[in-house]
A and B are shown apart, each in its own frame.
Chain A
């Protein structure tokens, strides 16, 4: 099953199981069904539980908070995470505070699905990551599944969770194929996954960068380097113990994070290693991140902007102290995505 279909499936099984779950957002009942993630829902669950919204992100999140106060479990869909930046007031000042600010009197179980764009000149306002921003805020939970199985498992956990959850999907993951169990199952929030065990270097990757990390690990294996890949999956709460355990074992850390570097999740992972694994570290931790500049539009700049497996490969070698002509690791296949969105 594809990643987008796994998301659709998670919503469908939860809506079948619990009549309090409903879904809304710009384009939800649209013929294109938000990249297929909401297709067929309106036919099965009707207009009361599956609906479009006016373009008013801040109002929408606020209203979903209200609906959650009345014991519903709303899911909001955003075609781009950039659009929900208009709702930072309701997300940060309100949703994240409502449970603690009243001593636990109310819970706000809303899921805010956000999609991160990439490619075809999406540009500065349609391809920001923003996971660091949300991960900074106490009272929110933030997940970023990299596989179809976790997309479904984490979305189910998010819908069941009593805290507001920011559910981050990468546009480039929507068409990834993978095994997805039927029915209801849960990927726990706050638990990273060790994708492959290895002894030489730990690669911690987030969202779409997990795919790049896998490619890099394959190339490194050919060079006799054994990598341990950790798919972080949840960014808040962070699974620090899985990271610490691995870094203690390998002594080397590379973090692959499709986001800016300053005040980032990648920085947090490095800090965790520094605070907890100091005497185990054999080399300074390495980070593969975005250049410190808004995402450009031009294909030429896009190509230079986005780090790939090649960068992870190079940083891993650097951590290992191996100097070797950097090879190009299985470059992204000629863009099949024909735009425009």
Chain B
């Protein structure tokens, strides 16, 4: 697959933007306690969402997990609507009903994220089932963490998807931890992508901190699914920088070391491609994104809270 420099620059810029959004949320999260919503930041994992989203085309859909900002933003979800959602405002993408863990943008193919582990995996399979029934050339993607594969519904979904050769791609963001529990304390030493084989589908492991590699692997899998060759499971190896939920670093808790975090920070997915742009280009991008984020936060602050009357009857 030939990847143009223009595309690489686009991937890089989107990661930079996503990084800046997440880091700004972390910076202001506790300042005025305006964002009262359990927030699972995506910092460190940007290459996965950006690589996956860019491999998708219009009409393709995605179901996401509690760590939802990445897919929402990468898939083109509106930043203002996300900020407003975090601030619990009526102008939020879920009108203040969902918060950080429940982002949605149906027009952009973001079909909603669940805070229940594995909750949306079968939804993606169901979307793919509908595409097959309706004879549409669309693909569904399911993105979830490494703990979600421990739930029964993951296995039920893979079994069904493979049986029916559905156009669905499973993307596991393996960041090695479930809250503070290491993978090796939760799963036998079988690599996650290898699980695919037992369901008769292709399994691939990819460096989840390399956006170009993620893009390539997912593009190929999606192309296959679109052509009717069935589902695939992609394991993207990555790392969450900040605490499981909330804005802080957490190596003081003792379940992981500062040195381990340091190693992964050295493999920063954004920094990896920083040289694609000149210093001036980078600076101007940073300025532009900072302004856009300022505006989104201002929008969220100025927006009204949802009206109480909505409490007693229907939401819409």
User: Are A and B subunits of one complex?
Assistant: yes
* Residues of chain A within 8 A of B122, CB atoms compared: none
- Whether A233 sits at the interface, judged by CB under 8 Å, is no
User: What are the interface flags for A300-311 relative to B under an 8 Å C-beta threshold, 1 for contact and 0 otherwise?
Assistant: 110011000000
* Residues of chain B within 8 A of A86, CB atoms compared: 116, 151-153
Inter-subunit contact B114/A55 (CB<8 Å): no
Q: B residues engaging A (CB < 8 A)?
A: 29-30, 33, 36-39, 88-89, 92, 94, 96-102, 114-119, 147-148, 150-153, 178-181, 185-187, 245-246, 253-255, 305-306, 308, 310-312, 315
Distance, CA A55 to CA B121, complexed state (A): 15
**Distance from B306 Cβ to chain A, minimum over Cβ atoms (Å):** 5
Given contacts A123-B115, A125-B116, 5 further A-B contacts (CB under 8 A): A30-B181, A125-B102, A291-B311, A301-B310, A339-B38
Inter-subunit contact B117/A55 (CB<8 Å): yes
Name, among A126, A294, A301, the residue most crowded by chain B CB atoms within 10 Å (CB to CB). Answer: A301
Q: Which residue of A lies closest to B252 (CB)?
A: A31
Inter-subunit contact A304/B185 (CB<8 Å): no
- Whether A109 sits at the interface, judged by CB under 8 Å, is no
Q: Which of A56-90 contact B (CB under 8 A)?
A: 56-59, 82-83, 85-86
Q: Which residue of A lies closest to B34 (CB)?
A: A299
* Residues of chain B within 8 A of A32, CB atoms compared: 180, 253
Option from B37, B179, B187, B306 in Cβ contact (under 8 Å) with A120: B37
Q: Chain A interface: which size bin?
A: 35 or more
Q: Which residue of B lies closest to A30 (CB)?
A: B180
Q: Which of A103-150 contact B (CB under 8 A)?
A: 119-126
Inter-subunit contact A125/B114 (CB<8 Å): yes
Inter-subunit contact B179/A301 (CB<8 Å): no
- Interface SS of chain A: loop
Inter-subunit contact B305/A340 (CB<8 Å): no
Given contacts A31-B180, A123-B99, contact A341 B152 (CB under 8 A): no
Option from B96, B186, B306, B310 in Cβ contact (under 8 Å) with A54: B186
Option from A58, A119, A298, A304 in Cβ contact (under 8 Å) with B152: A58
* Residues of chain A within 8 A of B255, CB atoms compared: 30-31
Inter-subunit contact B181/A27 (CB<8 Å): yes
Q: Which residue of A lies closest to B313 (CB)?
A: A293
Inter-subunit contact A122/B38 (CB<8 Å): yes
The 12 sampled A-B contact pairs (Cβ below 8 Å) are A52-B181, A86-B151, A119-B36, A120-B37, A120-B38, A123-B97, A123-B99, A126-B38, A300-B308, A301-B96, A301-B306, A339-B246
**Distance from B9 Cβ to chain A, minimum over Cβ atoms (Å):** 35
Distance, CA A296 to CA B36, complexed state (A): 12
Option from A27, A122, A298 in Cβ contact (under 8 Å) with B306: A298
Distance, CA A301 to CA B38, complexed state (A): 16
**Distance from A53 Cβ to chain B, minimum over Cβ atoms (Å):** 8
Given contacts A31-B255, A341-B246, contact A56 B306 (CB under 8 A): no
Distance, CA A124 to CA B308, complexed state (A): 16
Inter-subunit contact B116/A54 (CB<8 Å): no
Distance, CA A283 to CA B255, complexed state (A): 58
Distance, CA A221 to CA B179, complexed state (A): 47
* Residues of chain A within 8 A of B180, CB atoms compared: 27, 30-32
The 5 closest A-B pairs by CB, nearest first: A298-B88, A298-B96, A300-B305, A121-B37, A297-B99
Inter-subunit contact A297/B152 (CB<8 Å): no
Inter-subunit contact B38/A124 (CB<8 Å): no
Q: A residues engaging B (CB < 8 A)?
A: 26-27, 30-32, 52-59, 82-83, 85-86, 119-126, 291, 293-294, 296-301, 304-305, 335, 338-341
Inter-subunit contact B147/A55 (CB<8 Å): yes
Option from B29, B114, B311 in Cβ contact (under 8 Å) with A304: B311
* Residues of chain B within 8 A of A57, CB atoms compared: 151
Given contacts A121-B88, A298-B96, A301-B97, contact A54 B187 (CB under 8 A): yes
Given contacts A27-B179, A54-B186, A291-B311, contact A299 B36 (CB under 8 A): yes
Option from B38, B94, B96, B151 in Cβ contact (under 8 Å) with A56: B151
**Distance from A41 Cβ to chain B, minimum over Cβ atoms (Å):** 16
* Residues of chain A within 8 A of B101, CB atoms compared: 123, 125
* Residues of chain B within 8 A of A26, CB atoms compared: 178-179, 181
**Distance from B253 Cβ to chain A, minimum over Cβ atoms (Å):** 4
Inter-subunit contact B181/A340 (CB<8 Å): no
* Residues of chain A within 8 A of B99, CB atoms compared: 121, 123, 297-298
Q: Which residue of B lies closest to A300 (CB)?
A: B305
Distance, CA A54 to CA B179, complexed state (A): 11
Option from A55, A296, A304, A339 in Cβ contact (under 8 Å) with B150: A55
Inter-subunit contact B306/A340 (CB<8 Å): no
Option from A54, A126, A299, A341 in Cβ contact (under 8 Å) with B88: A299
* Residues of chain B within 8 A of A297, CB atoms compared: 37, 88, 94, 96-99, 102
* Residues of chain A within 8 A of B37, CB atoms compared: 120-121, 123, 297, 339-340
* Residues of chain B within 8 A of A59, CB atoms compared: 152
Inter-subunit contact B116/A301 (CB<8 Å): no
Inter-subunit contact A341/B117 (CB<8 Å): no
* Residues of chain A within 8 A of B253, CB atoms compared: 31-32
* Residues of chain A within 8 A of B96, CB atoms compared: 296-298, 300-301
* Residues of chain B within 8 A of A304, CB atoms compared: 308, 311
Inter-subunit contact A300/B38 (CB<8 Å): no
Given contacts A55-B178, A121-B36, A123-B37, contact A298 B311 (CB under 8 A): no
* Residues of chain B within 8 A of A126, CB atoms compared: 38, 115
* Residues of chain B within 8 A of A121, CB atoms compared: 36-38, 88, 99-100
* Residues of chain A within 8 A of B116, CB atoms compared: 82-83, 85-86, 125
* Residues of chain B within 8 A of A341, CB atoms compared: 38, 245-246
Q: Which residue of A lies closest to B308 (CB)?
A: A304
